[in-house]
Chains A and B, each alone.
Chain A
Amino acid sequence: MKRFSEVIRGISCSVVAFLAISAFGTASAADYPCSSVEWIVGWGAGGGSDSFARSMAPGVADTLGVPVRVINMPGASSIVAQEEVLNRPADGCTIFSITPDQLTNEITGLTELSHTDLQPIMRAHVDIGMMHARKGGEFGSWDDVIAYAKDNPGELLVGGTGAASFDEIVVNIVFGAAGVEFRYIPYEASKEMHADLLGGRLHVVYDEVSVLAGMIEAGQVAPLIVLAESELEKFPGVQAARDLGYQVPPSLWRGAAVKGGTPADAVKMLEGAFMAAADTEAYQTFEEGRLLNLYPGRLGADGFAELLAGEHKMYADVISGLNAN
């Protein structure tokens, strides 16, 4: 017997795929070597990676001409899912949702698996990070934060999700560049962190714009700096890290990969299908709704592979610095 949840998911996905196909007219039936594709998401249903996969899958299925089923396999920052993908044949019939967590998991030693075991397909978008304070709280600007940190060394409380995680690395890069001491407070779920920020128990939090846009708009939270090369049109007046002379930390991104060693023609077809899917209305609406289009993030297989190698080095440097302290 097939897993029941998989069957349900399969049905719902095929319904969506069917709707998508009928909406976009005829499907271009390419000769993809699999009768169906499974997209394994290492995070729970409803999260950022899951919504990404579900908004993208119909478009990919449309181009490949075979159904694409999204399967959630949450656990251990998607290490469980990565293992599953690497245990399957390298035939392009299984897609893996990749985020910077694959790099940090590897560097911190949570897993023996490496990002080099994977063949990148495409980076779809960048989710810009910002440093936030409570609106109407004691910190009206980034300068206030730095001044407080200088007057009270080690007293500045900065929240982020996960320990020895992407967030902690980013926070370290930013405050390292600013040259001030701080205390990083790790959270398992961002909801508790947000409550602690609004409740006045944290001074600053790091979070991505897709997560906090609503709270910014509602006037609960104020962005202080944006961790990018330049100011964003969406948030005028919020200084960019580069403009402050800081090293810009890597951004959170989401993309797709397959097992390393997948035949080149399958990779090529997948890359094409993903690029096409990124232009579909379903995906574009998703990007727009979550403000994932503030910064150009789309990269093909080769550019993505290069980026992974570069960021791997950057994270490794920061983490070895953290461990040295």
Chain B
Amino acid sequence: MIEGLQLALTMDVFAFIILGTLIGLMLGALPGLDATTGVALLLPVTYVLAPVPALMFFVSLYAAGVFAGSITAILFRIPGSSEAIMTAVEGHHFTARGEAGLALGVAVTCSAIGGLIATVALFTITPWLASVALQFGPSEYFALGVLGLSCIAAVSASDPLKGIIAALIGLLLATVGIDQITGAKRFDFGVSSILGGIPFVPAMIGLFAASEVYRRIAQRDHTLVSGGGRKVTIRSALPPFLTLLKLRWTVLRSSVLGLLVGILPGAGATTAAILSYSAEVRMSRQPEAFGKGKIEGVAAPESANNAAAVGAMIPLLSLGIPGSGTTAVLIGAFLIHNLQPGPFLFIENPEIVYALFGGIAITNVMVLLFSIVFIQAFAHFVRLPYPILATSILSVSVIGSLAFGDVNSVAVMLAFALLGLALEAARYPLAPVVLGLVLGPIIESSLRRALLMTDFDFTALLARPITAALLAVALLFIAVPAVAGLIRWWRARKQTP
């Protein structure tokens, strides 16, 4: 273990960690480019490197890339990658209030802490976590998805009914594309670009970033920071220690939740971010403050998505099954150096495994250090006059969407921009749409797959303990606010005869 850390700290390896972190930050911050693409593109370049520096380079690129998406999410409501979606929902309110520095600082610190907590788990309980991951089959994924959906009310505190409608829009849109179970075409209208489902990143860029620009143009609201000419200053990227202390339980809870979701091959950092955000709203004494810029709403998804990204390494290294899209691409990085990720690697090359663990730990610290510089650089953009910023955001939205296929992705982006504009004008929350879009495919295909396995016996699903437990919690989440509402209504009726 110690040797692993030492190996990670040798000069030629360390240099690649730094390089990977920097490239990861840059790729992650650009919408449309993410760590997965980065790893795949740079794979051939590392043929010439020794295995350890090459793998370190990719692992640090991956870990840094997951964080960097939050910078643009907070400043411009552009989720640089899908994991940053909840950060965009909550974090941008801080920029509007002139407190971008606080949100960015909390985001980067919580990311690093979440990543480090997950790394500790990586060092200590990897085999146990891998066996937990294997307990999750289709019925468990279905229950997990339902649990996620049961949080709709949580992410739309002001008007649950509008929240449910928004989530249904998301679920409806999630049915577009090839049916995973029968292979039939659904709602593709002859456009092959959406045959694989609505491309998620263009949809998110449209729904959040572009719609925001159009809204401001429509309302002639030409200041990124509302409340007049208050200058945006981001003096320090590190938040006050007291703020962090206040967030300690949020960060811990979200990191553990993120880690657990991250180890599941069928769910990823995006689901982790959504679940931890909803959980935080549930736990909060002021759930109504979420969605309007509450710092817990930034801390939770940020700790969770980084913990999930690290967690995804667990099934990869112990079972040979990638826990996420990027780790699937990382397999390629192992293979070109004649290493096969899986239990064999632990036995044959433990020094490489521990060096990787060490590298992940170091990367999380590096992200913290580099982000301070990186965020300062981005902060200059905030001071630009809004018309320039607006055109830049729209250009980036178009380019980012193009990176996900063809021109039709841009059309998807623009369609979602209109959808976002319409929904926000009617005061519908956007977060439930994301919830439906992300969880819809998980819920639908997992349930149908589970039923195929049990020959359409629903009770057999409930006989599985994890499934039953998750569904029970979901039921509780739905029932408690409903019952509380009924009681309030009944009391109010009694008082007014």
Contacts and interface: CB of A to CB of B under 8 A. Distances in A.
Interface of A: 1, 3-5, 8-9, 12-13, 15-16, 19, 44-46, 50-51, 54-55, 72-77, 79-80, 83-84, 108-111, 154, 157, 162-165, 168, 183, 185-189, 191-192, 194-196, 198-199, 201-202, 213-215, 217-220, 282, 285-286, 289-290
Contacts of B181: 163, 186
Given A108-B183, A199-B137, A4 B399 contact: yes
B336 to A, nearest CB: 7
Given A110-B178, A163-B179, A163-B183, A3 B320 contact: no
A191 B405 contact: no
Contacts of B32: 4-5
A21 to B, nearest CB: 14
A73 B335 contact: no
Nearest to B134: A199
Contacts of B449: 185-187
Interface centre among A16, A74, A77, A80 (most CB of B within 10 A): A80
B373 interface: no
Contacts of B105: none
Interface stretch (B35-43, B146-154, B213-221, B249-257): B35-43
A110 B43 contact: no
B193 interface: yes
Contacts of A75: 192-193, 195-196, 199, 405
Given A191-B266, A194-B320, A217-B340, 15 more contacts: A3-B399, A3-B403, A5-B33, A44-B325, A45-B329, A50-B40, A72-B40, A73-B405, A74-B196, A83-B192, A110-B195, A185-B449, A191-B328, A213-B340, A218-B343
Interface string B59-99: 00000000000000000000000000000000000000000
Contact of B332 (A46, A80, A192): A46
B411 interface: no
B347 to A, nearest CB: 9
A277 to B, nearest CB: 14
26 contacts: A46-B331, A51-B332, A74-B196, A75-B195, A75-B196, A75-B199, A76-B195, A79-B192, A80-B405, A110-B185, A162-B183, A164-B183, A168-B183, A186-B181, A188-B445, A194-B319, A195-B136, A198-B319, A199-B135, A201-B453, A213-B340, A214-B344, A217-B340, A286-B336, A289-B335, A289-B338
A9 B37 CA distance: 10
B180 interface: yes
Interface centre among B183, B338, B399, B453 (most CB of A within 10 A): B183
A80 B329 CA distance: 21
B134 A198 contact: yes
Contact of B180 (A188, A198, A215): A188
B321 interface: yes
Contacts of B44: 12-13, 16, 54-55
Contacts of A289: 335-336, 338
A194 B399 contact: no
Given A163-B180, A186-B449, A215-B320, A192 B30 contact: no
Contacts of B37: 5, 45
A201 B183 contact: no
A4 B33 contact: yes
A168 B183 CA distance: 11
What 10 A-B pairs are tightest by C-beta distance, nearest first?
A: A45-B40, A46-B329, A164-B183, A76-B195, A163-B183, A214-B340, A46-B40, A199-B134, A5-B403, A191-B265
Interface centre among A1, A84, A188, A218 (most CB of B within 10 A): A218
Given A164-B182, A199-B137, A80 B195 contact: yes
Nearest to A79: B192
Contacts of A46: 36, 39-40, 43, 328-329, 331-332
Nearest to A199: B134
B328 A15 contact: no
Contact of B320 (A84, A192, A218): A218
Nearest to B139: A201
A195 B169 CA distance: 31
Contacts of A192: 265-266
B355 interface: no
Contacts of A72: 40
B196 A183 contact: no
B336 A4 contact: no
Interface string B329-364: 101100110101111100000000000000000000
A199 B344 contact: no
A273 B294 CA distance: 60
Contacts of A165: 183
A51 B41 CA distance: 10
Contacts of A109: 185
Interface in B292-336: 315, 319-323, 325, 328-329, 331-332, 335-336
A210 B209 CA distance: 41
A77 B185 CA distance: 12
Nearest to B398: A1
Contacts of B332: 46, 51
A157 B195 contact: no
B366 interface: no
B53 interface: no
Nearest to A9: B41
A46 B335 CA distance: 11
B45 interface: yes
B342 A218 contact: yes
Nearest to B37: A45
Interface centre among B37, B48, B182 (most CB of A within 10 A): B37
Nearest to B326: A46
Given A76-B192, A76-B196, A163-B179, A8 B41 contact: yes
Contacts of A4: 30, 32-33, 399, 403
Nearest to A13: B44
B179 A1 contact: no
A217 B319 CA distance: 12
B133 interface: yes
A272 to B, nearest CB: 23
B482 interface: no
A173 to B, nearest CB: 17
Interface string B217-250: 0000000000000000000000000000000000
A109 B322 CA distance: 32
A192 B320 CA distance: 12
Nearest to A112: B190
B472 interface: no
A75 B409 CA distance: 11
Given A186-B181, A191-B265, A196 B138 contact: yes
B137 A201 contact: yes
Contacts of B322: 191
A157 B335 contact: no
B173 interface: no
Nearest to B333: A46
Contacts of A157: 453
Nearest to B324: A191
B447 to A, nearest CB: 13
Contacts of B48: 19
B161 interface: no
A42 B446 CA distance: 26
